[in-house]
């Protein structure tokens, strides 16, 4: 093991430990999440580790981690969480398959690719499975570690580039780049770059344009959230949320009802 790899491994273990100052809370009932998640969905995670704090700061996002659902219990009346599996690139363990139980108590968001047939979904999953055992890119870990020591005065526009300083080793990846490679392998867009043709002008130039894929190392977890090609699925709503049967605390409700009406001002 080279000195750089040894240092990266030690830092990875340190960054993977829970942050002493941050607590994540689930954004929906676990059963609703289990029933709603489908194969091919990207599940974004809030994260409670030290490295999660750094990623959320540098990307100005609520999401620090991205996983791919590879088996589900979608629509099952009595779902078994043990049968819901996620594929991820873990800081310490590398690319692996884990159970949804690992993240069910944290903040999550389902990002669902639209109009994909089952054959292509299986191709994305197969792409990820072929990389099980690949290691996390510790070059990124070394970069992230610097920003945990002292918060830098970094312009927002530079933060994404700071997360793309990977080693370039094809057997190493970070979570979002692994998923980006999977979807790009079947030609599914995430946040492609728009390219205008050079032989048109005026109004026609705004209508006629093409897209180019961005390099996979440039993707971060929030890109799946803001992508116009992934639907945001909220389990509570999918499981027929009814505001008229919401279980408010009785004391809180009475206290709210007794408040004086707001007075309009100029």
pLDDT of 158? 59
Kindly give the confidence (pLDDT) of every residue in the chain, 266 residues in length, as a single tens digit, with 9 standing for 90 and above.
Answer: 677 667 667 777 777 787 777 777 888 999 999 999 999 999 999 988 877 887 787 778 899 999 999 999 998 989 999 999 999 998 888 899 999 999 999 999 999 999 999 999 999 999 999 999 988 766 665 665 555 454 555 565 555 555 544 555 555 667 888 999 999 999 999 998 887 766 655 555 555 678 888 877 778 899 999 999 999 999 999 999 999 998 888 776 555 556 666 555 55
Task: Report whether 46 contacts 107 (CB < 8 A).
Answer: yes
Q: Give the residue from 183, 194, 186 showing the smallest Cα distance to 224.
A: 183
Residue holding tokens 């370039």? Answer: 168
Assigned token pair, 177 = 């780049």
Counting Cβ atoms within 10 Å, is residue 117 exposed (0-12), middle (13-18) or buried (19+)? Answer: exposed
Task: Report whether 15 contacts 141 (CB < 8 A).
Answer: yes
Burial 139-160 (b: 16+ CB within 10 A, else e): bbbbbbbebbeeeeeeeeeebb
pLDDT of 229? 97
Counting Cβ atoms within 10 Å, is residue 186 exposed (0-12), middle (13-18) or buried (19+)? Answer: middle
CA angle 105, 106, 112 (to 5 degrees): 110
Task: Report whether 57 contacts 151 (CB < 8 A).
Answer: yes
């Amino acid at each position: 093991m080279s000195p750089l790899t040894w240092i990266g491994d030690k830092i990875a273990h340190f960054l993977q430990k829970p942050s002493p100052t941050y607590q994540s809370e689930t954004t929906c009932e676990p059963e609703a999440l289990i029933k709603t998640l489908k194969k091919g969905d990207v599940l974004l995670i809030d994260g409670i580790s030290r490295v999660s704090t750094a990623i959320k700061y540098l990307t100005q996002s609520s999401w620090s981690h991205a996983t791919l659902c590879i088996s589900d219990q979608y629509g099952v009346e009595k779902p078994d969480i043990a049968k819901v599996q996620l594929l991820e690139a873990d800081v310490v363990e590398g690319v692996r398959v884990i159970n949804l139980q690992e993240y069910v108590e944290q903040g999550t968001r389902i990002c669902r690719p639209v109009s994909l047939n089952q054959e292509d979904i299986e191709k994305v999953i197969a792409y990820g499975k072929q990389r099980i055992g690949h290691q996390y890119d510790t070059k990124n870990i070394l970069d992230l570690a610097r920003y945990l020591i002292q918060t830098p005065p970094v312009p927002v526009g530079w933060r994404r580039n700071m997360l793309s300083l990977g080693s370039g080793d094809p057997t190493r990846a970070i979570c979002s780049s692994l998923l980006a490679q999977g979807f790009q392998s079947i030609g599914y867009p995430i946040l492609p770059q728009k390219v205008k043709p050079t032989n048109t002008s005026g109004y026609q130039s705004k209508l006629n344009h093409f897209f180019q894929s961005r390099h996979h190392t440039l993707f971060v977890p929030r890109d799946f959230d803001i992508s116009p090609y992934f639907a945001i699925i909220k389990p509570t709503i999918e499981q027929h949320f009814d505001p008229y049967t919401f279980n408010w605390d009785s004391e809180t409700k009475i206290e709210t009802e007794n408040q004086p009406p707001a007075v309009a001002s100029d």
